[in-house]
Structures are given as structure tokens and as C-alpha cells.
Structure 1
């Protein structure tokens, strides 16, 4: 399991707007390469993002499912990335002053990734989610600057 937190310099609503736009997923999630489709109900429970992972020409089509959704506060996902496996990812938003503390907790739940020792898995996930939060911050803070 890996936990990352970052203060994003905008409101929880602006951060949620990025999370709620499924078409933006590959812009902030490290490893997601492209979107193929977004369920109309995204980010409601049961909705899916249909994305690809990897680098062309070795792209793998997969999906991410919403397990729990509390708009403006949290989003729990079942993210598949075969052949590595699948992970549960909990993203929480907490107001802090004029900004938002965003925390990502990720745990491998199926596939070969579950066999990787935590001592090896955690640093890799930590690096990946540090960059994921950096990208999410760029998008959310840019929305603040542009008034979107």
C-alpha cells in the first residue's frame, strides 16, 4: 500500500471538477495513455472509464470502475492494468485554507502485482502517485487561473 498527499492550491470543487471529467484521466494518471470511452454516469458508483495503458504499440485496453463516490470529498476506484493486475485507489479531498489536501491511497488487489513485496511495491507506487498528484495539481490549479 502506498499513501501520497499533496496540497493543491485551489478549492475541492475545482479538484473534483478534474476528477469528474473522465476524459481528463490520462492527463493526470501516470500510466494511462488514452481514453476510449467514458460512461455517461461517471463518476457515479458503477460507472467506468475505458482507457488504455502502456506505450504504443504495446497498449492494453482496460477500465477503471467507481466503487464509491462522495462528490467533492472522495472517489474510490478499482483500476485495472493487466497484465500487472488491479488496484483499489482511494482519492480524498480535504479543504485546507484556500487549498485542498488531496490524498491517494493505492493497494494492489489482484494479479501478479499482489506478489511483489511491499518493500519493493511501495516506493514505485509512491513515485507514481507523487507524479499523478503533480499532474492533477497542474490541471486543477490551471482551472483556477483560467476561471474554468
Structure 2
């Protein structure tokens, strides 16, 4: 199941936020800071190094680009030890007065992969909706 949000932000404004990995801690729920970003981000194979959790229970890991279509979509593998890895896809569709953003996320490694897909989707839906809301607010503010 995917989460979708309509926003007044243009696809260009949304892509500019996705294109700046230093902003991910501002819209990805659970991310507490970005520690480093590969210079060629978001080319496939590049990474940003993030921390997630609340101090003092902060965990360091990284997210890597799998594929991108500039201005349209970005697919990532997010590492979240000890839960495993998740595949994340953000898609941007242009509307007459703004955009529609879709966020899909699914776990690809154990141990969390053992959770049934439907349960994963139900658990992730509120978080993913909030991620989209934050992403849209940043894009709308930067595009203004």
C-alpha cells in the first residue's frame, strides 16, 4: 500500500528537496540527523549517512540510491539496523495546480521482513503520511 498526498508544490520544488539529502532529517520521521552526504547525490550508488532515534538511543546507518528519474522518482534502500533494510520509492506526478507525491516502503531483509506485508503497511501508513506532509511543507516553503 502506498501513501499519497496532493500539494500545491511543483514537481520541481519537491525534487529540489529530494535532491538535497541534508534535508532528509527534516521530513523523514524518526531521522534525527544527517551526518554525511556523498558529493554526487542522488546518482545511483550514492549514499547519505543518517542517525535515527532519540538521544541517547541513536543509531547510525546509511541510505543508498537505487535509481532515479530526475523530477519524477527516487528509489532508495534505507538501512535501519537492527530492523533490517527497507526499499523506499518516492514518485512525483504533476497536477494542474501542484503535484501528487506517492511514498511506498517495504521491508526487504530480516528480521522485520518476517512481519506480514499487510501488517507492515498498516504500521507504516501513519509514519509515511507524516513524512509526505513534512516533505510537502518543506517544498511549499522553499518554492514560495
Alignment TM-score > 0.5, same fold: yes
Aligned match of 2:56 = 57
Show structure 2 runs of 5+ residues with no match: none
Aligned match of 2:2 = 3
SS in 1 for 2:3: strand
SS in 2 for 1:106: strand
Moved over 6 A (4+): none
SS in 1 for 2:25: helix
Aligned match of 2:140 = 141
Question: Structure 1 residue 98: deviation in Å?
Answer: 1.9
Aligned match of 2:126 = 127
Aligned match of 1:106 = 105
Distance (whole Å) between structure 2 residues aligned to residue 4 and residue 128 of structure 1: 10
Aligned match of 2:75 = 76
Instruction: Select the structure that is richer in strand.
Output: 1
TM superposition score normalised by structure 2: 0.97
Show structure 1 runs of 5+ residues with no match: none
SS in 1 for 2:40: coil
